[in-house]
Structure 1
Amino acid sequence: MSRGSILSGLTPHQLRPWRAEMSATLQLAWPLAAANLLQMLVHAVDVIFVARLGEAELAASSLAIALFGLVLWGLSGLTGAVAPLIAAEVGRRKHAVREVRRSVRMALWLAVGAGILGMLACLNGERLMLLTGQDPAIAAMAGSFMGIIIWAIVPSIMANVLRIFVSALGRPIFATMIIASAILVSILANYMLVFGNFGAPALGLEGSALASVVTSLFILAAYVIAISWDKRLRRYRIFGNWWRTEWSRMQEIIRIGTPIMGTIFAEAGLFSGAAFLMGRIGPSQLAGHTIALQVAALAFQIPFGIGQASTIRVGYHYGAGDRDAMGRAGWVALMIAVAFSMVTASIMLFMPRTVLSIYVDTDAAKNAAMVGFAVQYLLWAAIFQLVDAVQAVSAGNLRGLQDTRMPMVIAIISYWAAGFGVAIWLGFRTPLSGTGIWIGLATGLTVASILLTWRWARRGSIGLV
């Protein structure tokens, strides 16, 4: 998979399309990756403010966000099926404006309907936490937090659909600019509502949840304004005749998107489940896990953005029927992702306390236990950076080919049979405890990366193109 093994032996003439594809992928990927990083910084703002309330509040928000994030990312995956559809429609170039408009409109419909169902599911969060053996006081705090933050689900999913639209149509920088602005909104809202500044009430943990709702509404409004303002995007008139139904297109999005949602539930469920496992071990381990996972998730946004770009690039060539270009797009994306992940892994490995100091005071005596566990977990986060990057981009490549069902099966096997099984065994049957849970996470990602890359490499022989 290395650059040398893929490109070795090619003449300068043969290398030209590879360089062109790398340039196109980077132009699309960097604003998406930047937007992902900035989105994580929006969440990091919440963690930073909540961490200053205390260990209990941080543990409660961690449990709530574990469930909330699982629902939000899963439903974003369902509606995110619009990405390969738009890319293929643009690649075919026939009736692209009309077909793109149909896809986006139905994806927005689906975002509202699925989002409401997601809100109802999250209302049972406290009960679920109690059933999994969480501390009742922590579960009660998490339940109150959840009752507010669920109002961010629908606007967040709708904003994700609009983000896909602007990115696939050549305006990914809009996503970067909007999320960068959202960081300032999140900081201001948390500053006001958590600690009661500028005349606002001091709502504590619930204030952070309300700040998330305010931020999500701002992001959705910003996308609507940007699309209405930009001449190229405005010609698609995606908000026109919003009441018109296109049931066949809705079914197509659901057909492709349901396995994507299943894949995300499998992967995100592993990480969310890890939080619940940590909660059974102890609050200090859970708090340390939350901080370490926040760092790992932040680093993951780079290969995740590259994977989003590869879905669009592979999907574009898939629509155009260019098999060679599909392969170039996928392999180029993999090379870029592995290169970046080596950098982030090195930072976690050699500067763990420096990274953790962004979130908490690493020298404070009250944080000693939490920081100690976080440093241990960051070692394993560094180890699985490479395989995490590979699985993210390989999954993105396959989505560009509209291949989603088998990747879902692979995800379930990898994350639950392998990853979660190892996490439970090592975490509760051996002295490794929390470290064993992180080894389980690494195991699941490794198995997924091997199987997904194998399927991508054999795409021609198994009839995907």
Structure 2
Amino acid sequence: MTKVMTYPAHFRAIAVLGLPLIGGHLAQFAIGLTDTVMLGWYGVEALAAVTLASSYYFVLFLFGAGFGWAVMPMVATAAAEGDETSIRRSTRMGLWLSLLYAAVVMPLLWWSNPILIAMKQEPHIAETASEYLRVAGWGLFPALIVMVLKSYLAALERTQIVLWITVTAAVVNGFTNYALIFGNWGAPELGVMGAAIASIATQVVSLVAVVVYVVRTLPEHSLFQRFWRPDWEMFISVWKLGVPIGLTTLAEVSLFATSAVMMGWLGQVPLAAHGIALNLASATFMVHLGLSNAATIRAGNALGRRDKAHLEKGAIAVTGMSLVMSVVTVILFLTYAEPLISLFMEADDPQRGQILAIGTGLLAMAALFQLVDGAQVIALGLLRGLQDAKIPMVMAALSYWVVGIPASYYFGFVRQMDGIGVWLGLVLGLAFAAVLLMARFWMHSVRQMQAPAEPA
């Protein structure tokens, strides 16, 4: 008979599993943050271009990462069932799908300039962004492989190594950026191109480290032996779960990417302020994302054991932990907005005053959406753990595209609220998603626990 865990036991288990994942996400975020800070020091135009390029890149990356996200609950459930064969099969086909996807979308990264121009971006900003993407885009291949292998390791509760690999990559990125953006230590001064090269170097280091670890410590899974052999049944299973997860992530990320496009319509300075405020909001979001990953793994374990009580208590515990973090973040953003924004700029930057004025207002809006953003990502994590993906995908698309993006345009441009209005639309879209997804989990998915598990 399964022992029923108390809430304190759930809090401890989530913390043990989730803290390294949070640290790993923060380290991964630090890679992008390093680019933003150093390019902000280099110049506002460089910062605006890479803000635009990064938004474009991550739309493509995070859709492809859906296959990695799919591996996590599948491996967690298989591990709870003691099915070693399914662990290997699902991870291997996740790698297949990730590589195929990267090959298909690479032309969109290589020929991004006309797409950015069609999105009404300033021509010189679009040109610089496209030059960055032509180099940094090649990092999509190692990045997606690393995503799958990290999900595989996290699902097996080997979260410490996920943390340390990502920290190492962040350190490599920082040193490489410092050398190549500014021309330090005898390196050429490459500016935006230096950041792009550093991005690729970082992904390759991560790939080598994670592959070496997997081969040496988990030889029983034989992930890379006869890697060329297809497994079409599992290929389709990972596809069926990964595509809805990828589309869900795409819908959310596209909401933020579209907001960057809209901010670009307002000009270079508002776009730069948006990049800074979004980076600060993203840093705190990494905590919720790590908790969401822990929720996915533990829900997947509960599914494998058909343990409904464990699922319900764990869901309440992880939601409560996310709520506490949201309250802390709201206080931080409302109290220390100007010092936080100042971290991204030189003291003598001639546009400092304008960026501070716009960024402070945007950060106040970011404080508003902390609660709903945390709630919706926790709900998504729980639903993914139960391999419930299709209906949540529809809910997310409605929330982000039917509510969020039109609201951003309406308040930002029709009501002429500018950047504040664009971000108000973000709040409304995320709030709508939080309500729908939490309702889906508690009113449908939990009640289906006794049913045989099939990807939804």
- Whether TM exceeds 0.5 here: the answer is yes
Q: Note if contact 1:353-1:362 (Cα within 8 Å) is conserved in structure 2.
A: no
Identity of aligned residues (%): 31
- Measure how far apart 1:362 and its partner are: 5.6
Q: How does 1:249-398 map to 2 (within 5 A)?
A: 249-361=234-346, 364-398=349-383
Instruction: Please state if 1:55 is matched with 2:40.
Output: no
Instruction: Give the whole-Å Cα distance in 1 for the aligned partners of 2:265 and 2:445.
Output: 46
Q: Which residue of 2 aligns with 1:223?
A: 210
The count of corresponding residues between Structure 1 and Structure 2 is: 448
Q: Note if contact 2:10-2:317 (Cα within 8 Å) is conserved in structure 1.
A: yes
Q: Which residue of 2 aligns with 1:122?
A: 109
Partner residue of 2:57 out of 64, 68, 73:
68
Instruction: Give the whole-Å Cα distance in 1 for the aligned partners of 2:154 and 2:40.
Output: 34
Q: Which runs of 5+ in 2 are unaligned?
A: 451-456
Partner residue of 2:159 out of 169, 172, 177:
172
- Measure how far apart 1:237 and its partner are: 2.1
- Measure how far apart 1:242 and its partner are: 1.4
- Measure how far apart 1:461 and its partner are: 7.7
- Measure how far apart 1:402 and its partner are: 0.6
Q: How does 1:138-287 map to 2 (within 5 A)?
A: 138-230=125-217, 233-287=218-272
TM-score, normalised to structure 2, is 0.95
- Measure how far apart 1:161 and its partner are: 0.7
> For 2:221, what is the secondary structure of its paired residue?
coil
Q: Note if contact 2:91-2:148 (Cα within 8 Å) is conserved in structure 1.
A: yes
Instruction: Give the whole-Å Cα distance in 2 for the aligned partners of 1:136 and 1:99.
Output: 49
Q: How does 1:5-24 map to 2 (within 5 A)?
A: 16-24=5-13
Structure 1 letter corresponding to 2:438: T
Instruction: Please state if 1:136 is matched with 2:123.
Output: yes
> For 2:302, what is the secondary structure of its paired residue?
helix
Structure 2 letter corresponding to 1:281: L
Q: Which runs of 5+ in 1 are unaligned?
A: 1-13
Structure 1 letter corresponding to 2:343: I
Instruction: Give the whole-Å Cα distance in 1 for the aligned partners of 2:291 and 2:205.
Output: 25
- Measure how far apart 1:122 and its partner are: 2.0
Instruction: Please state if 1:27 is matched with 2:16.
Output: yes
Structure 2 letter corresponding to 1:456: F
- Measure how far apart 1:361 and its partner are: 3.2
TM-score, normalised to structure 1, is 0.93
Computed over aligned residues only, the root mean square deviation of the Cα atoms, in angstroms, reads 1.6
Q: Which residue of 2 aligns with 1:4?
A: none
- Measure how far apart 1:240 and its partner are: 2.0
Partner residue of 1:427 out of 392, 412, 415:
412
> For 1:359, what is the secondary structure of its paired residue?
coil
Q: Note if contact 1:46-1:190 (Cα within 8 Å) is conserved in structure 2.
A: yes
> For 2:121, what is the secondary structure of its paired residue?
coil
Worse-superposed segment, 261-270 or 119-128: 119-128
Instruction: Give the whole-Å Cα distance in 2 for the aligned partners of 1:63 and 1:403.
Output: 33
> For 1:198, what is the secondary structure of its paired residue?
helix
Q: Which residue of 1 aligns with 2:454?
A: none
Instruction: Give the whole-Å Cα distance in 2 for the aligned partners of 1:267 and 1:326.
Output: 25
Structure 2 letter corresponding to 1:384: F
Distance verdict in 2 for CA 1:180–1:133, change over 3 Å? same
Worse-superposed segment, 356-365 or 203-212: 356-365
Cα displacement string for residues 169-197 of structure 1 (whole angstroms, at most 9, x for unaligned residues): 12101111111111210111111211222
- Measure how far apart 1:449 and its partner are: 0.4
Structure 2 letter corresponding to 1:41: A
Q: Which residue of 1 aligns with 2:453?
A: none
Q: How does 1:443-458 map to 2 (within 5 A)?
A: 443-458=428-443
- Measure how far apart 1:363 and its partner are: 6.4
> For 1:150, what is the secondary structure of its paired residue?
helix
Worse-superposed segment, 197-206 or 63-72: 197-206
Worse-superposed segment, 111-120 or 386-395: 111-120
Cα displacement string for residues 307-337 of structure 1 (whole angstroms, at most 9, x for unaligned residues): 0110110011101111121212222111111
Where does structure 1 differ by over 4 angstroms across 4 or more consecutive aligned residues?
none
Q: Note if contact 1:118-1:153 (Cα within 8 Å) is conserved in structure 2.
A: no
